[in-house]
Each structure stands twice: as structure tokens, then as C-alpha cells.
Structure 1
Amino acid sequence: MIRYALHCAAGHDFESWFASGSAFDDLKARGLVACAVCGGTEVEKALMAPSVAVKEEARPLAQPRSEVEEAMAAMRREIEAKSEYVGMNFATEARRIHAGDAPERAIYGEAKLDEARKLLEDGVPVAPLPFLPARKTN
């Protein structure tokens, strides 16, 4: 996985994770990389400093968060509160819901890139989330 700092034509800065650098290039070429703020697809990589591990005691107690970070955190809370996490069964469960074989409800989870691509090709309405599930972030 690789994280890129991105910048859209409307001036919004945001970050997103990709399976690889070539995965980003492929998704961008197909118009599937969109601004997390406005949805615009004119997105470019921005200059990004490397991530350096910092001991917890060295972090400031209250780091200021940007407007985008606050919006992303709010979106995550909303999704986690109103959706069911189905883990690695996401593709199977999304397909079952789409076919009417499972109760219709909001779900989120994990899928391999080829599984997600197949869902989209088959008309199953799915979208990538701009965050990793909690179990992946620890």
C-alpha cells in the first residue's frame, strides 16, 4: 500500500491510499481518482514529506486538524455508526444484497482490487472509502 498526498484542480488537498504507484496511475487514467472534498477527477500527486514514526510522548497533546481531516473523521464516524462492517466478505455480501439474496443495508468492508473492479463491472454500486478499517490502522 502507498499513501499519496493529492491536489485537485479546485485547490483541495487530501490524501488517499493505493495498492501501488501503478494502481494509482491506472485508476487516474480511467477517471476513477476523485477529490475527497468536491468529487472532481482532475487530481494530481502533490509533494509529500515521508512519514516518520514518532514516540507517543513526543506528540503534542492537541494537534490541530485541517478542515479536510475533520470532514474525513466525521464521515468515518457516520459510516461506522450507520453501516455494518463485513470484513473480507465485502464483495460476496455486496453481491448478495444487489441480487436480493440478503437484506438491503449499508455495509463496508475490504475487497481486493480485482474483486472491487468486478463488482463495478457487474453494476454493483460500490465506492472506495478514504480510510482503512480500524483493525488495519493499529
Structure 2
Amino acid sequence: MKVLDLNCRNGHVFEGWFSSEDDFQGQLRDSLVQCPLCADTHISKRLSAPRLNLGARQPTSDLSEPAAPLPVASSATDVSSVDLQAAWLSLARKVLANTEDVGPQFAQEARRIHHGEAEQRAIRGLASPEETMQLLDEGIAVLPLLLPEAAKETLQ
């Protein structure tokens, strides 16, 4: 099993697990590897140190020296990009779990719900920028939200 550190052209960093280098290259060639945050398929490997599992060994460090302190965030604004990515993916999955996908009929269904012609419920789907602006002009609250395909699947 190969565990690779990957990133997309938007700078999102994530991990991918592949059975071999050939498996990774094949999936990359077929655009099957995508960023879990933005669905970008332009993926590249990051430099990473290999992990070699050579069996359990006793640590050889000198226990008389104190361990280095763990880094602690100095304020609420000290959030890593990895934390932000995880929060975004979690939010995307919550939206997916709690909305009904109405596909390209989003604008029509949003109007039906707004006018009481359809059951009140949370929906998601596809709308053009023009349709979105028309809905907003009609007083129908909508929020454009990019939900990557990877968020719609269970990560293995």
C-alpha cells in the first residue's frame, strides 16, 4: 500500500492511498484522483518521507532529556489550512446529508417551494448564474455553494 501526500493546483493538501505507483498513475491519467475540497483533477505528489515498518523496536532516545513541548495555538485565529479543509469537507457532507438533490430543476423547484406549490424542504441542485440572480430578485434565498464530488462519497 502506498500512502501519498498530494495537492491540487489550488493548494489543497490531502492524502491518497493506492495499491502501487502504477495504480496511482493509472487513476491520475483517468482523472479519477480529485481534490476532496474543490474536485480539481490536476493533482501532483508532494515530497514526503517514506515510512518503513521494520517491526516494533524500543525507542533509542535519551529519556533524561525533556521532550519538546507540543505547539499550542496562540489565538483562535491560528488555524491551519488542514483544519480549514477538514471543516469545509465536514460542512459539505452535512449539506449533502440534509438536503435533497433536485439537479438542474433547482430554480423551478425553489420557486415551487417559495410559492407553496411544493413541500417545504432543503434542496440543492444546479442553477446558472442568471437563474440564481432571478431567484434572488424574486426574494428567494439561495446560496451558491460548490460541493466537490469527493464529498458525496464515503472516503475509504
TM-score by length of 1: 0.50
Question: Do the aligned residues in 2 keep the contact of 1:88 with 1:111 (CA within 8 Å)?
Answer: yes
Letter in 2 for 1:131: L
Query: Structure with the greater relative contact order (CA < 8 A, sep ≥ 6): 1 or 2?
Result: 2
The residue aligned with 1:107 is 123
Q: Aligned to 2:102, which of 83, 86, 103?
A: 86
**What does residue range 12-31 of structure 1 map to in structure 2 within 5 Å?**
none
The residue aligned with 1:11 is none
Tell me, in whole angstroms, the C-alpha distance in 2 between the residues paired with 1:72 and 1:80.
12
> Structure 1, unaligned stretches of length 5 or more?
6-50
Q: Aligned to 1:96, which of 109, 112, 118?
A: 112
Note the aligned Cα RMSD (angstroms).
Answer: 3.2
Q: Which runs of 4+ in 1 moved over 2 A?
A: 51-55, 130-134
Instruction: Note closer, same or farther for the CA distance 1:78–1:122 as it changes in structure 2 (3 Å cut).
Output: same
Question: Do the aligned residues in 2 keep the contact of 1:109 with 1:133 (CA within 8 Å)?
Answer: no
Tell me, in whole angstroms, the C-alpha distance in 2 between the residues paired with 1:110 and 1:59.
37
Q: Aligned to 1:121, which of 131, 134, 137?
A: 137
Letter in 1 for 2:140: V
Tell me, in whole angstroms, the C-alpha distance in 1 between the residues paired with 2:97 and 2:133.
26
**What does residue range 46-85 of structure 1 map to in structure 2 within 5 Å?**
52-54=42-44, 66-85=82-101
Alpha-carbon offset, residue 131 of structure 1: 2.5
Q: How many residues align?
A: 83
Alpha-carbon offset, residue 59 of structure 1: 9.5
The residue aligned with 2:147 is 131
Instruction: Note closer, same or farther for the CA distance 1:69–1:97 as it changes in structure 2 (3 Å cut).
Output: same
Tell me, in whole angstroms, the C-alpha distance in 2 between the residues paired with 1:90 and 1:133.
18
Alpha-carbon offset, residue 104 of structure 1: 0.2
Tell me, in whole angstroms, the C-alpha distance in 1 between the residues paired with 2:82 and 2:90.
12
Alpha-carbon offset, residue 133 of structure 1: 5.2
The residue aligned with 1:20 is none
Identity %: 37
Letter in 2 for 1:110: L
**What does residue range 31-42 of structure 1 map to in structure 2 within 5 Å?**
none
Alpha-carbon offset, residue 67 of structure 1: 1.5
Instruction: Note closer, same or farther for the CA distance 1:86–1:113 as it changes in structure 2 (3 Å cut).
Output: same
